[in-house]
Amino acid sequence: MTLRFNDLEVGDLMTRNVVSVRASEPLSTAAKLLWDYDCGVVPVIEDDGERVIGVVTDRDICMATWSRNLAPSLIGTFEAMSQGLVYCSPTDSVEVAEGIMRSRKVRRLPVVDAAGKMVGILSVTDIARVARQPSTARPGFDISPAHVVDTLNMITTGPLKVPAYSRVEEW
Tens of pLDDT, residue by residue over 85-124, are 899 999 999 889 988 988 888 889 999 999 889 999 999 8
Q: What is the pTM of this model?
A: 0.76
Mean pLDDT value across residues 126-143:
62
Tens of pLDDT, residue by residue over 144-161, are 666 666 666 666 665 445
Per-residue pLDDT at 83 exceeds 70: yes
Higher pLDDT, 147 or 4: 147
Show me where the domains of the chain are located: 5-157
Checking DSSP bridges between strand 41-45 and strand 52-57, what pairing results, if any? Answer: antiparallel
- Considering only the top CATH level, what class is 5-157? alpha beta
* Residue 43 contacts residue 110 (beta carbons within 8 Å): yes
Give kind and range of the element (H or E) at residue 34.
helix 27-36
* Residue of 13, 3, 40, 2 whose CA lies nearest to 97: 13
At residue 41, the pLDDT reads 94
Higher pLDDT, 6 or 72: 72
d(CA 105, CA 91): 21
At residue 168, the pLDDT reads 37
